[in-house]
Amino acid sequence: MPPWTAADIPDQSGRTVVVTGANSGLGLVTARELAGKGARVILAVRDLTKGEQAAATIPGTTEVRHLDLADLASVRAFAANLHTDVLINNAGVMYVPLGRTKDGFELQFGINHLGHFALTNLLLPRISDRVVVVASTAHRYGRIDLGNLNAERRYRRHRAYGQAKLANLLFMSELQRRLTAAGSSVRAVAAHPGLTATNLFGRTGNRIENAVMQLTTRLLAQSPEMGALPTLYAATQPVPGDSYIGPGGPAEARGYPAPARRMAHARDAPMAERLWMVSERLTGVSFPFALAGSSV
């Protein structure tokens, strides 16, 4: 079969899609392609000015709304009374120096996981189709340290990023388990972009590392248009819940959408459940449906 491209996205007329971090990079490409196929796309962005500038480049129906994933009050305000068919949890930060969200969480874990965890559960009663979690091959070196999720003891930015992206996949799998137990038809799926040139690179606080990362992306990375394809595939194709899509090329670094590989520790169901319970406690947001045959 020929490779799947954005041209193969089916008609999205009548559907609403929320894309977090939609003002640049993968989020902007994702929003543009879905709006071009008829979807009403809500650009969930921290900077409204940049969001409006991005929306002006997108043909189709768009709406810009403020969402700061580093502030749970902003997440709650955004989710209130919002209905959507698809939620794409795309926004994120990578390898940044130690920082804290407004609620005191380590920045990478707080934005990449906890902010999206809260947003998803707050929106779930008003999502009709699916949740797409944008993960990363960085989950391969990630480990969940339940005793140091917020870097109270020690902070290593690469390990913190790997932990956050592993949390994304564990969250997606546990979300699908809970949706199935609740009898919901909503699906939870994940995708990753491989090595893609985006503005995530170059924010480490280390000039040498920034330069190396930027050179690497210029030489080896694929375009955001290619990097967004796994997300677009996961958002629009009839994939089952708990699917994981990535580039089909060598090492999943580039290429057209294909099933992606998850490390064994990204399939650790007991850890996924423990992480879920900790995430509920930290955010104050719980799964909104009753679970059949479960004590959770």
Taking a C-beta distance cutoff of 8 angstroms, is the pair 48, 20 a contact? no
Residue 211 lies in a domain: no
Amino acid at 203: R
Residue 202 lies in a domain: no
Q: Check if 256 is active-site.
A: no
| Amino acid 2: pLDDT | 84
Residue 120 CA to residue 126 CA, distance in Å, equals 10
Q: Please state the pTM of the whole predicted model.
A: 0.93
| Amino acid 214: pLDDT | 60
| Amino acid 24: pLDDT | 94
pLDDT tens per residue, range 263-281:
999 999 999 999 999 999 9
Residue 3 lies in a domain: no
The count of structural domains within the chain is: 1
Pairing of strands 187-191, 127-134: parallel
Exactly one of 161, 233, 244, 256 is catalytic; name it. 161
Residue 24 lies in a domain: yes
| Amino acid 292: pLDDT | 74
| Amino acid 198: pLDDT | 67
Residue 220 lies in a domain: no
- Nearest in space to 120 (alpha carbons), one of 174, 48, 52: 174
Q: In Å, how far are 166, 240, 251, 275 from 259, measured between CA atoms? A: 17, 12, 12, 25
| pLDDT in 10s for each residue of the chain, 296 residues | 689 999 999 999 999 999 999 999 999 999 999 999 999 999 999 999 999 999 999 999 999 999 999 999 999 999 999 999 999 999 999 999 999 999 999 999 999 999 999 999 999 999 999 999 999 999 999 999 999 999 988 899 999 999 999 999 999 999 999 999 999 999 999 999 999 866 655 555 666 555 555 656 655 679 999 999 999 999 999 999 999 999 999 999 999 999 999 999 999 999 999 999 999 999 999 999 998 755 44
Residue 164 lies in a domain: yes
Q: Which residue has the tokens 């799998």?
A: 173
Residue 275 lies in a domain: yes
DSSP string computed for 123-179? HGGGEEEEEEEE--GGGGG----TTSTT-SS---HHHHHHHHHHHHHHHHHHHHHHH
Q: Which residue has the tokens 């071009």?
A: 36
Residues facing 100 on adjacent strands: 106
Query: What CATH number is associated with residue 255?
Result: 3.40.50.720
Residue 195 CA to residue 83 CA, distance in Å, equals 33
Strand order in the sheet with 187-191: 61-66, 40-45, 16-20, 84-89, 127-134, 187-191, 244-247, 257-259
Which one-letter DSSP state was computed for residue 86?
A: E
| Amino acid 30: pLDDT | 98
Q: How many CB atoms neighbour CB 179 within 10 A? A: 22
What H or E segment, with its residue span, contains residue 117?
helix 116-123
Residue 65 lies in a domain: yes
Domain of 263 in residue numbering reads as: 12-195+227-279
Residue 67 CA to residue 73 CA, distance in Å, equals 10
Report the chain's mean pLDDT, rounded to a whole number: 93
pLDDT tens per residue, range 151-181:
988 899 999 999 999 999 999 999 999 999 9
Residue 157, token pair as written in the block:
């930015």
Taking a C-beta distance cutoff of 8 angstroms, is the pair 104, 152 a contact? no
